[in-house]
Amino acid sequence: MRNMGFKTVPLLMLLFLLLAPLLAGCGSGNGREDAAETVETAEDGAADESVPPADAGPDSSSPQADGAVPSKSQEALAQAKSEGKPVLLCFRSQTCAPCIQMGENIDQVIPEYQDRATFIIVDVYNRSEESLCVEYGIRTIPTALFIKGDGQVLGGYEGVMEPDAIRQQLESLLASQ
């Protein structure tokens, strides 16, 4: 019986090492080249201290420091800022279960806010969006940021937000304009 333990431990360790990347799930890049989704609408989520502070974030209207061409999401963010329109910026993937749920919850809210805010959905696995993810310090997906029309991050939330929480955050965002 004792010998069995010595054989079992290495096998369990090997199994763990093989399964760990699958269990990690969301948040790490796999190099997929999916296009970023940009949806013109408004949405909200609960504030969370672990997301960038209100004064954090890049000036999305300026060119990137490294001279790279802005991504579709960066262009949409710059456009919203130039119009003074608030933004729900959601970082997610198309394969993460919580991200899919967050997307469905956002879709429920969009019709109510589409004329008053811009929704920008960023696929974290799209390499063209990498600099945007780095600039906003995205560590977990889904992460939703609520950005005022002047580009200031009002608040953010890591994880899935229910539609009512999104509405509440959007109302706060719109009231702060």
* pLDDT higher at 31 or 142: 142
Mean pLDDT throughout 101-117?
97
Instruction: Summarize the confidence of residues 112-135 as an average pLDDT.
Output: 96
Mean pLDDT of 41-56: 37
Going along the chain from its start, the domains and CATH numbers come out as: 37-175 (3.40.30.10)
Give the CA count within 13 Å in the CB-facing half-sphere of 113: 29
Question: Which residues touch 93 (CB under 8 Å, ≥6 apart)?
Answer: 26, 99, 123, 124, 125, 141
Return the ∠ at Cα 123 (arms to 85 and 159), rounded to 5°. 80
Which residue bears the tokens 């199994």?
Answer: 15
What was the pLDDT predicted at 48?
35
Please tell me the pTM assigned to this model: 0.66
SS3 assignment, position 33: coil
- Give residue 67's pLDDT band: very low, low, confident or very high (50, 70, 90): low
